[in-house]
Structure 1
Amino acid sequence: MRKLIALPFPPHMDAAPQSAAEWKDLVDRRAKLAIAALPALKETLKVDVQPAVIGGVKAFIVTPRTIPRANRNRLLVHVHGGGYVFGPGEAALPEAILLAGFGGYKVISADYRMPPDAPYPAAMDDAMAVWKAATKMAKPRNMAIFGTSTGGAMTLAMVLRAKAEKLPLPAAIAPGTPWSDIAKIGDSYATNEWVDNVLVTWDGWLGRAALLYANGHDLKDPQLSPIYGDFHGFPPTILTSGTRDLFLSNTVRTHRKLRRAGVVADLNVYEGQSHGQMAGM
């Protein structure tokens, strides 16, 4: 953790792709780095990964080689982070592998479509298709949805949409440092700018990715910024962030709104950590 906290800013922090081809090149370069580390991670944590199509959507099923008895009827659905642009295919898997390995849960990780080819609402449509199909694979009372950053925002938005569509809700959710306000709104966008060594600033690639994904839609649409949705009736929630996280305010605002809606919600803020570092990102 000390090494993570001491890392320099990432080289892509100020990337400004000018075309779909330039976005894809940036995404592919980052994906290759993530994929290269997967074999060792899978072996260390003793999990197997199987590609699948679930609800018509590409996905991966991550299964621990040993599942505790208490978890044998449980199923987690994972939506990955990456600013709605990063983490295609297997590059989305590190967080799912970590939770499957350390927690002993079977995990479905949705490989949802992303910009530049598929802007909003493609990611949400895919995530909801996976959720609907997954509720036929296990009982919703034995299921949870989790994800970090973009995945945290999508976790919240999925519950909003499931409520609206009268679909079964998960028994619990874990939105890690959720991008719950996709616009540059919230104190830590200023106070932790140039302090967070992962996201660094909204005015780099992050804000450009937000606008690319939103594709002209209102940034306060609750499906883009779930902080503006109605949290009444949400399942118990655990939220995580760090003191140096650019999304600390997003996480704290989400926690307060959940509590005001009467939801059981835990907030964990880790000392010295930048964005997503509690998830090994």
Structure 2
Amino acid sequence: MIRRTAVLLLLLGLPALTPAARGQSAPAAAASAPDFARLEAEQSAATGKPGPRTVPGRRIPVPGPVGPEVQATTAAPDRAPALDANPDGAAEWKTQIGRPAAQTAAPLPALRERLGVVSTPEPIGGVKAWIIAPKEVPERNRNRLLVHLHGSSGTDPGEAGTLEAVLMAAFGGFTVISFGDRMPPDAPLPAAMDDAMAMWKAALTLQRPENMAVFGTSTGGAMTLALMLRAKQEGVKLPAAIAPGTPWSDLTETGDGDRATGWLDGVLVSSEGCLTPAARLYAAGHDPRDPQLSPISGDFRGLPPAILTAGTRDPFLSNTVRTHRKLRQAGVDASLQVFEGLSHAQSLSDPEAPETREVFGEIAAFFDRTLGTEPRGR
């Protein structure tokens, strides 16, 4: 459950020319390929018996029905050279993750200024944290408080981990606590969850739980779920709502996962690179089915209303869909939004993209429906 920092500035590239752009529909282009009859016969023979499916090599065009920002980032070179690697030892892990974390942190001050957001470092429950809020909090949100569990990989990204909290504060108008927990390779399981629990207990002294929500993306999404399971087990009050974004909710790799989207996603790229070894680094010998590692293994009954987010190119789309179904089966009010063409956590890559504003707008509207507004003491 190592968390991956969503890099703010992705390399931009030109969209590939799709068959439709050439005046030919995609199905027609495929059917007119000279070797289609041979390929069809081979695939029919291969899939004519039970067993795993072997998918032939394909060229996937940049999706058409998305905004130009998503088209550009989807067409950009993937990050395989930087992120699909298996570092040798703690020092190499820190170096690998330090570079994208620094890239993400550098433009944050200018982004906060442009979006009208203020960030104040302040420990919460003995854990490093930032209080992030709009310069003017809307009246309806003045008694509301969100807790953000950041996504990253390998080591604590520090301020870089607050990017998602900045976007939520700006687009949703909420005050957000974003905390920086201890992370591997120096502090594997259960350090991060111990920190999350300490911070959550402290946050409960600041606001009514009925007015609070917890959210996060990638491993931050998985930790959101794991925190709910632990709080329920320990008899600690739960928030009014949660928003696990594309959660890494299953480390056992038993779902479709990136088998369906590997090398199509432009962010995580493939679990054959650093995802699987990073998960082992965090687990430190623990059973990957432990609900604190793979919260989908836990009992979701009694969890608060949830909204989940993923994209059609996201390797964690399967995890997100399965988590949504399990929440529904447990009687939880759960919504699922899936965006065309988005790779893993790609809604964090460009604050100006319409899809980014729509993602956060949907989550903010969900929180607005589920969170209370009464001040403490009533």
TM-score (norm 2): 0.73
Residue identity opposite 2:228 in structure 1 = V
Question: In the alignment, does 2:184 pair up with 1:120?
Answer: no
| Residue identity matched to 2:164 | E
Q: Which runs of 5+ in 1 are unaligned?
A: none
The answer for the alignment partner of 1:51 in structure 2 is 121
1:163, 1:169 within 8 Å by CA — same for their partners in 2? yes
Q: Aligned partners of 1:148 and 1:86: how far apart in 2?
A: 16
The share of aligned pairs that are identical, in percent, is 61
Q: Give runs of aligned pairs for residues 149-228 of structure 1, distance below 5 A.
A: 149-228=218-297
Q: Which amino acid counterpart does residue 137 of structure 2 have in structure 1?
A: I
Q: Is contact 1:237-1:265 (8 Å) kept?
A: yes
Deviations 1:59-116 (A, max 9, x none): 1110110111000000000001124x25521010110000001101000001011001
- Partner-residue secondary structure (3-state), 1:61: strand
Query: Mean Cα displacement is larger for which, 17-26 or 140-149?
Result: 17-26
Amino acid at match of 2:257: S
Out of 321, 327, 332, the position equivalent to 1:263 is 332
Q: Give the superposition deviation at 1:278.
A: 2.4
Please say which of residues 23-32 and 243-252 is displaced more in the overlay: 23-32
User: Match of 1:245, SS?
Assistant: coil
Q: For residues 278 and 347 of structure 2, what CA distance do their matches in structure 1 show?
A: 23
Counterpart-to-counterpart distance in 1, 2:146 and 2:71? 30
Determine helix, strand or coil for the equivalent of 1:195: coil
* 1:148–1:279 CA contact under 8 A, matched in 2: no
Structure with higher Rg: it is 2
Give the alignment partner of residue 17 of structure 1, picking from 76, 84, 87. Answer: 87
CA distance in 1: counterparts of 2:333 and 2:318, whole angstroms: 19
The Cα shift of 1:258 comes to 0.3
Q: Any conservation in 2 of the 1:232–1:258 contact (CA below 8 Å)?
A: yes
Give how far 1:182 is off.
1.7
Paired residue for 2:203, among 113, 125, 134? 134
Find the residue that maps to 1:53 and give its secondary structure: coil
Deviation above 3 Å: which 4+ runs of structure 1? Answer: none
Please name the residue that 2:6 is paired with. none
Correspondence for 2:134: 64
Q: How far has the Cα of 1:255 moved from its partner?
A: 0.3
Hey, what's the Cα distance between the residues in 2 that align with 1:185 and 1:194? 18
SS at match of 1:198: coil
- Please identify which structure carries the higher strand content: 1
Residue type at the aligned position of 2:118? D
Residue 188 of structure 1: CA displacement?
A: 2.8
Q: Paired residues, what number?
A: 280
TM-score where L is the length of structure 1:
0.97
CA–CA distance in 2 between the matches of 1:147 and 1:171? Answer: 15
**SS of residue matched to 1:60:** strand
In the TM superposition, what is the alpha-carbon distance from 1:205 to its structure 2 partner? Answer: 1.1
The structural deviation recorded for 1:266 is 0.3
Question: Structure 1 residues 279, 34: closer, same or farther in 2, change over 3 A?
Answer: closer
Are 1:42 and 2:112 matched, yes or no? yes
- Preserved contact between residue 86 and residue 273 of structure 2 (Cα < 8 Å): yes
Report the aligned-residue RMSD.
Answer: 1.1
SS at match of 2:301: coil
Residue in structure 1 matching 2:312, options 219, 243, 256: 243
Distance 2:115 2:241 in 1: 24
- Report the counterpart of residue 17 of structure 2 in structure 1: none
Q: Deviations over 1:194-217 (max 9, x none)?
A: 111111111111111100000000
The Cα offsets for residues 239-265 of structure 1, whole Å up to 9 and x where unpaired, read as: 000111000000000000000011000
Partner residue in 2 for 1:273:
342
